Structure 1
Amino acid sequence: MMHDYDRFASLFTADGAWRMPEIPLEFVGREEIRTAVERLQGNWEFFVQTVHPGAVRIEGDTAAGRAHVAEFGRMRDGSSHLNYVLCHDRYRRTPDGWRFTERVYEIRYVDTTPLPGTAPRPVGAS
């Protein structure tokens, strides 16, 4: 995504929802989702997320699926996170392609052990 917040929000239907019950956070509609992802990413010094596809069931113009996610990173406050997540997804076919109508982010494992490594700085950054 590389800070393309509009693109992230466009992956959802206009009335789509992104829910994180354990945190607890919930965002409904593209504008709330866009604002949320920008704010949330602003908290990270660095963040790496790997998505592993799971099963998807298609029924006409709707579908349901899940994805397994491994993510780690360090927050700007120095805290670290290693999370394993199961995403429960619902999709709808639109004229622009398949979009999320709902993504429920279920945290299955969290490790807050400090990450001792460093993130490389972009060329030209001070």
Structure 2
Amino acid sequence: MSDFQAIADRFEIESLRGEFTDAALMHDYDRLVSLFTEDAVVRIPDANVEIVGREAFRAGTERLQDMWEFFLQTTHPGTIQLDGDVASGRAYLAEFGRLCDGSSHTNYGVYHDRYRRTPDGWKFAERVYEVRYVDTTPLPGTAPHTAPSARQ
């Protein structure tokens, strides 16, 4: 693999991770599921969640998003290990929000990812969310009640 190809691959994978966060926060479910391979697996072991395939992921994401009064996630670059047409990596995240039932959550975690090069570019083949810290102290702030727009 040339140095140029490795740089391009890393850039595309980092962009994929950014697109995931943006699509989720903008409730752009079509874009969100397009970031995964058809047979992708999403796991959240601490919540006993395992979702296989794009359509199941879409349905689960929509259901979970409807539970939040507001939610924000920031993802920070981590590692990327390239191996031809597959890669693995980690991204670090911080998130907070308040559920419609009034409970609050501040979480810090790690995404453990596997990526696969497809004819449409790099996609997630597996995304595992490892929770490292949870704080359920009620959030004192408020959020405007405007729906996010995927057109922004």
**1:33 corresponds to which of 41, 45, 57:** 57
Provide the residue aligned with 1:118 in structure 2. Answer: 142
Q: Alignment identity in percent?
A: 65
Farther off after superposition, 10-19 or 114-123? 114-123
Partner of 1:104: 128
Q: What is aligned with 1:69? A: 93
How many residue pairs get aligned? The number is 123
**Aligned partner of 1:79 among 103, 124, 128:** 103
**Higher strand fraction (1 or 2):** 1
Instruction: Give 1:77's aligned amino acid.
Output: D
Gaps of 5+ in 2: 1-22, 148-152
Name the Cα RMSD after superposition.
1.0
- Paired amino acid for 2:49: L
User: Which one of the candidate residues 70, 78, 84 is aligned to 1:60?
Assistant: 84
Within 5 A, what are the aligned runs for 1:13-52? 13-52=37-76
TM-score (norm: length of structure 1): 0.95
Deviation at 1:7, TM superposition (A): 1.2
Secondary structure of 2:144's aligned partner: coil
**Which residue of structure 1 lines up, in the alignment, with residue 6 of structure 2?**
none
Separation of aligned partners in 1, 2:98 and 2:119 = 38
Task: Output the CA distance in 2 between the equivalents of 1:70 and 1:52.
Answer: 8
> Structure 1: which 5+ residue stretches go unaligned?
none
